[in-house]
Each structure stands twice: as C-alpha cells, then as structure tokens.
Structure 1
C-alpha cells in the first residue's frame, strides 16, 4: 500500500464544500487531493440558479458551495499538483467528472460521471442512482440519496451531495452497499424534458410566490389520520389501499394528528398519535380509544417534552407497556414506560444519544430486538437506514456493522411496525422520491443479522381514490383497526371567519 491511503481527484476549477466533507470523513489516515484540468463542471448558470434559490428560500450555502479558485481541501493536499493521466498506487477516487482513468474509482450519477449529471437529474425532478465504480465499470457501492424538498434544486443538490459522502465512506470502508431489488427496476435515466437553469430560475421565483400565498391561506404542513376496520388482509399484506372505506379522524384545523400507532390492551383498542399545534409549532403525543364503531371522543395529550414529539411506537414487552417516541430534536432515542396506561408515562432510559434518528422503530427478529431508523448525516433525514440490535428492549444496543446499511430515499425510512406475513418479515417504508411522505412502499427483509442486511421492495403504494391526497406517510394495524396518515388542508380564513 502506498503511504497515501486514498487520493482524490478534483476538477481544478470546481472544488466545492462537499469535497472537503468527503476528505474529512474518509476512514483512513492520509488523503491526498490532486487537481486535474480535464474534468467537468455544471457551469455558471447553475451556480446563479443556486444563489437565487437560496435567497428565495432563505437557505444557507452548503455542499454545493464553490470554494475560492486554487483551493485544495485535504488533510494531506498535493501542492501545485495538476495532472491529467498519471496514476499512483493505492486507492484513487476520481470526482472530477472527466474521462475514465486507469486504476481509478469513479463517482457516477445515473451511470454518468460528474456532478453536472446530478444537476441534470434533479432538474428533471428525479433523484439519480449514485454509484462508485471501478475502471471496468464494476459497482463497488450504490445508493439513491435524496431530499425532503426535491423541487428546490439548492436544497436537493446539497442533500444528494451529502449522501455521496456517505457512499464514498462506505466504499473506502469496504461496506458493499446496494439498492434493493424492486418491481420494474430502479428509475431509468431520463431523456429530454430538462429545463434550462434560466427557465428553472423563473419557475423558482413563481414557486416561491406561490408558497407564500399558500401559507397565508393555509396552515402548512397539515396532516390527517385515516382509519378503517378490516377483517381480512391489510395494506401491508396486499400492497394496496383498496378494501373497506377509509374514514378521517377529525381535527379542528388549528392542529393536526399524524403518525398513528394503535395497540390492543386487555381487549380494548387505543390509538396514539402525534398531536401538532400550529400555534405552538410543536407536537405532543396524544391518545384516544376506539370501540366497535370507531373513535371515542378526541385525542388527549399523554406525553410532552422539551422538544417536538412524533412517531409514538407503542408496544408490550415483559408484561409492561412501552413507548419510543421520536425525539430527534434532542439527539436521543428514548424509552418510556407506562405507569398508568394509557395516560401516564415515565422516562425509563435513553437508548441512543448524540444522533439525529428519525422514526425509530423496534421489532423482534430471530431472538433479538432490533431498532431501525434513518439518521441524518448533514443531508436528508430520510435516506440513510441504520440498525441496532440488543437482547433486551432496554439495551444495551449495538450498532450494525454495516451502518448505514442502505442509502435510498425510496425505501430506507421506516413508516410503521414491521409484521410477519406468510413467513416473510415485511416493513412499511417511506418512498420520498416525490417529496417527504409522498408515498409508501412495502419492503421484505431477506437477510438480517449483525453483519448483513438485505431487503427487496415488493410493492409501491401511492395515494389513490380510496385515500386521496398528495401524501401517504405511515401504516399500522392492531387487530381489526388499520390506520394511515396523509395530507390535508387547513384554511386560515375559515377559522378567522369563525372567530
């Protein structure tokens, strides 16, 4: 091995902030950065568009920010090293977007090198499949990093580039990340229909105006919970929403309910939800009971925190009732025990800390407890799946050797409790390719142990006439009660007129 563990090749005129992040994150002792002159860049029009979108969206520059000319990031940067073809020993990663170089790994977007290919995909409203390939085109790692705001290039591009850093780290660490198999294959590279940066800039201005008008008229976002009683197989087993009629859990418009988790206890059914008050800008956990006809009363708060609470996973273990709500704003995963079910809960322990974990979901598999969650690494909070395992629900918890075990905006983030059907372990997941909470998918866990994770997507579930709207976000069931959540509208004008 060369004294230099890794060498990174960058386009001399397009060194960006995410390159610094990649160099700093690589799990090696030494990194050399070499500047080349035959790479590619996305051009001034795109940089102008990014600046305009940041101003309109009040966004700070991140990974896509261009560093001053002559910048060469790295712990051990090459001084005045400008090469075109020379290849050194050791691992070399070409991020310049230039032609394939012998002995180099290359980062590709929809099988094309160069960040300009990522820009083209995002302008076409598609998240590219990102791969690190060797000089013969063999895939070393692959993923589909994404963003919660695909329609905003400045935010989406920064999030995708942050995901690229994770893929590069996995490649160097020897973690062979792969996208799951799915019906119809992965998104194919698009052809045509890509707006120019100038046309996109005009659209960005119009979209910013539309967003401001919408937020004056409506509270946003606003979610709603759907419920139904079903005797037969549910959505997770059938892969579709059709069946018994869905009904809405009503709200007063000034706050909404989301992330529904039902549980049966002593023959009675309870539904726990995120209860978000628009006036406070923060959520608490509330509960209501269901009888044989439907909901009894309205949700009442049962758990509050210094930070926003959501995604209240409730479960029974060892004769006690437990809850793991999302506390990502506190950087923790917390376990609560019911002292007087369903209304009183106490903090039992902090399972994980110092991480931004989203929609943490516990489940049992082959004699172990597992936790699944997506963890933010400077980009999206929905594309990097992490796993932990333990012998007991209270821990201690051990991180999976391959974390993140999956980078995929279309199938990483949990969307409810995993269940077993016909011997298969199925997990509901969020498909965020069209934005946060836009659709669901069903993934079958094929292999899961402390060293390996493999899943395959068996169904995609967008909203449809049986559950209309622009979002479909969470799926759970307890006994006959099946619940989902999705988008709704809450008019500010309606409530003003009432007052």
Structure 2
C-alpha cells in the first residue's frame, strides 16, 4: 500500500456539504472528493504548491501528498536557464517554474501512520515516475505523450503548442487541453504560462469538467512510434537527455550575449569601501574566468600569513554551483580558483571563518532545508561536514557574528513561498556549534532592500556595519551598508546608511557582495554584455 507523507483535511465548517449527485466516476461529471497527489521531492516546483492550494479550495475535498522516487523532471541545467532569463529580462521570481522545497508542503502533512485507503477517489500522479500498484484509480499527467515536465520544454524548443493529457488507468484520456503562451522567445515566461494552464486543466478534470478530446476532435498525442504503456518512464528520460543538450546551447547563447556575473578585487591603499562609502578612484580588477563559468559570492580569509579567496564557481555545462578557492597576493590571484567543496545540491555563499584554531565554512544550500557547518582538514581543501546548525529551514546566505559574549546567526528565510531575500531571521548560541535558539521576535525584519546578507559584519569605530543586499531592483541589484543599532535577545534594529550600485568604476548592472582580508577587498556583480564567443 502506498505511503502518504502529507495531507490537508479542508472539511467544511458549520454546515453539511451536499454529496455529489449520481454514481459517476470523477472526470465524468462528478467531483473528486479525495485526491492524493504523487510528487518527487527532488523535482518540486512552485506550480506543485499552487496546484495543491487550488485543489484544496473546495471545502468538501481532502488533499494529500505521497512521495515517490525516480520522477521524470527537467534536466538540471533548466533551472540555470530560468534563473538567467529571469535576471536578463527582469521577470519576477519565485514563480510557478521555481524549484520548491518539501518544507513548503507543511500544510498537507498527515499522521505518520496514515496510508492511502481503498475508496479514495483519485490518485493524481504528476511526478512522471514509473507506474506503481495503487489502491485507487491513478490519473497520470503527460505533455505530448511525455510524462513529467520535459514535454513542455521540448515543445518550446520545437516551437509548437503542447497538449497536456490526464490519462486513466487504461491509458485513455480523461482530460486534454492544448496549452498556449504569450511568448515563445523567453523560455521561462512561456513555461510558466503552460504550467498555469496545466493547473486549470487538472482542477477542471477533478471537478468533473474535463474533456477527453480537443475541440477539433483530435486525441492527445503519444510519442511517435509508441503505444501507451502505464510506465512511459523511458520516454521521459530520453526527452530529458535531449533537452539537456538544447538547454546548454541556449545557455551559451544567452551567456555570451548578455551580462555575466564576475568578482572584482583591489589592494586597499588608504580607506576601504566601508570608510569611503563610494567606489575607489582606481576602480576594480576582474577575477579572470574562461567564459564557460562565472565566479560570485567572494569570501576572503587571512590565515597563516596568506589570503585565500573562496567563491561560488558556476560551470554552465554542469548546471550547479560548487565552492572553489584561490590564493591571493597583492598583485592578484595565484592561478585560478579550484573546487574545494562539491555536493549533489547547488552551493553558494561560502561563509568562511576561523575559530578554535581551525577554519570553518557555512555554505548556502537552501535545497537541503538545513544550515550546515563544515570544517577544513587540509585548508583550503578537505572540508568535512561537522554539524547541522539549524534544521527544517529554507535559509539563504547564513552569516555568523560573535558579539557581547554570544554568537549570532543571520539568514533570510523563505517560508510558504515568497522571496528568498526579504525576511531576516536571527538565532543565538553560546558557541558557534550551537545549540542555536531562534530569536523570539523572528522574523526581525521584512525588507527586500536590506534583509539579505551581502558579506561578513564588520566592526568599525565602535559600531557594527552589516553589508546587505538591496534587491528592490532585482536580485543583487545594489549593495547597502547598514549600521546595527540593536542586537540582543529581545530585539534587533538596523539603519541603512549607504547604498552603492554599479557605476564608472564598476561597469555593469549589479553590485552584490563585499568581503575583505589581509589588505585586499572583494566585490561581485555583473559585467556589461560581451560579444558572442561561440558560434
């Protein structure tokens, strides 16, 4: 029997809900009263959250979730494409195509021992996973005959309008629809249009209003040369494999015609950026890259008489970030950054610090739902997982500060959707290993202009200056310098004193981070558009 991992009982309050008239099965004029949605936690997106919320709007319907494995999602570099298009075209994020986290499904949690019972109206499988025995009728979603979302993206690359189909246990369509999009030149915008209408189709079908044929009488297409099988899994895998190559080609086209993230550095002679409150007269040097990757999120540390710079290294072909490091001297980097920490998930914001005679790192990996501590065994390499500092939280850019005998942890937290950059949470502990206690007034700040960290907190003239990201003009649009006015267990306050953006000394469209160590200062942001490098 299938294991249910989540559920939400939205039964009516203060009145009896009339039963559905007639004995019809859902999809034939009757409403599905109980829906179990199969999802793969590794390929969750915003549209899944929206779908669950919409299905649960009926007070007489019970909606639950069941986790499956081997789902047929998008290739890994698709998320990179979406993020890049959102940045270039100024599209709002997060959206229906944005990767989501399992913690966002908390409203649908059920008792641990709850299982799907015979008699449930419908099991709705939108995961693209192989078929599995079930105690109730299963409706499976495909696009142009491809399970999962790969068919949608394939249709975009082929410049055709995809047909979404819900198929019953025998493979016959329960509901079909030909999806439309306002734009086919921006993949993210079209993909989200498709997903929005997919939700409409599913909701209509579960309300008994689905049509098994298109208005012109055509049936939902299957993959060429295939007859329908209950699995369809191989087709999804093949489609995703071909898509990865198409996405990679489009990424190259975007990256070599548009702005690109970069790291800037300079040797500090005289006042630093915090004292200057403006760009230095001499400008910034670029940390070189080969055009096939970008560097971002610079964190410098002076240790054993040398400066080491840690960065997020994002290789476009691999579609995820790793943490890399390079030694620095007054004249610049000694070589190129080399990977020092790589996980299955995307890594960024390598907050590196020294304590108890050792080097430690808290990299961002919000997909894990944790804030994790790593220790270096062969600095700058040899990073091993030391502890989970905070669990069950989608946190960005965790930053430590030791102040008045306690350790403080800053991070922006995304709960129930919304931005990754507008909600500041604090934790405090007697030691950087913990145990960490949430601040009693969390969230202590909701402000997209100053909540998210942009580097280590700096002590200056008896004050604490906190670099912050000003995301009012989009992610990483500008750098703010905020003075911490209060930091204790009863409250928090800050005041942004300076806002620095790109300019003549830092050409481009974004200014994002600030870090310094050993007489060197580092920032990051974007460079102006560069000519196409690949044909």
Residues 82-138 of structure 1: CA deviation (Å, up to 9, x unaligned): xxxxxxxxxxxxxxxxxxxxxxxxxxxxxxxxxxxxxxxxxxxxxxxxxxxxxxxxx
2-side partners of 1:278 and 1:361: how far apart? 27
1:414 to 432, 448, 453: 453
Residue 463 of structure 1 corresponds to which residue in structure 2?
502
Query: Is 1:432–1:439's contact at 8 Å kept on the other side of the alignment?
Result: yes
1-side partners of 2:534 and 2:399: how far apart? 36
Residue 133 of structure 1 corresponds to which residue in structure 2?
none
2:359 to 318, 321, 326: 321
- Counterparts in 2 of 1:65-464, with a 5 A limit? 151-152=90-91, 205=183, 208=186, 217-219=253-255, 222-377=260-415, 378-464=417-503
2-side partners of 1:385 and 1:464: how far apart? 28
Report the alpha carbon displacement of residue 208 of structure 1 after superposing the two structures with TM.
3.5
2:47 to 60, 65, 79: 60
Report the alpha carbon displacement of residue 292 of structure 1 after superposing the two structures with TM.
2.4
Report the alpha carbon displacement of residue 350 of structure 1 after superposing the two structures with TM.
1.0
Query: Is 1:333–1:360's contact at 8 Å kept on the other side of the alignment?
Result: yes
2-side partners of 1:242 and 1:67: how far apart? 52
Residues 230-263 of structure 1: CA deviation (Å, up to 9, x unaligned): 1322222332223333000010111111100011
Cα 1:324/1:210, change in 2 over 3 Å: closer
Q: Relative contact order (C-alpha < 8 Å, sep 6+): which is higher?
A: 1
Local SS of the residue matching 1:495 = coil
Cα 1:484/1:357, change in 2 over 3 Å: same
Any gaps of 5 or more consecutive residues in structure 2?
1-7, 15-44, 61-85, 99-181, 191-248
Cα 1:244/1:480, change in 2 over 3 Å: farther
Residues 292-321 of structure 1: CA deviation (Å, up to 9, x unaligned): 211110011111112111111111111111
2-side partners of 1:430 and 1:455: how far apart? 14
Local SS of the residue matching 2:367 = helix
Residues 183-233 of structure 1: CA deviation (Å, up to 9, x unaligned): xxxxxxxxxxxxxxxxxxxxx749838999985622277310000001322
User: Bigger radius of gyration, 1 or 2?
Assistant: 2
Report the alpha carbon displacement of residue 492 of structure 1 after superposing the two structures with TM.
8.9
- Counterparts in 2 of 1:9-48, with a 5 A limit? none
2-side partners of 1:317 and 1:256: how far apart? 30
Report the alpha carbon displacement of residue 474 of structure 1 after superposing the two structures with TM.
0.8
2-side partners of 1:259 and 1:408: how far apart? 21
Residue 215 of structure 2 corresponds to which residue in structure 1?
none
Count, aligned residues = 333
Residue 43 of structure 1 corresponds to which residue in structure 2?
none
Report the alpha carbon displacement of residue 267 of structure 1 after superposing the two structures with TM.
1.2
Aligned alpha-carbon RMSD (Å): 3.8
Question: TM-score, normalized by length of structure 1?
Answer: 0.59
Local SS of the residue matching 1:483 = strand
Question: TM-score, normalized by length of structure 2?
Answer: 0.56
Residues 347-399 of structure 1: CA deviation (Å, up to 9, x unaligned): 11111111110000111111111110101111100000011111111111110
1-side partners of 2:479 and 2:254: how far apart? 25
Residues 121-178 of structure 1: CA deviation (Å, up to 9, x unaligned): xxxxxxxxxxxxxxxxxxxxxxxxxx9899446968999xxxxxxxxxxxxxxxxxxx
2:534 to 489, 495, 499: 495
Local SS of the residue matching 2:275 = helix
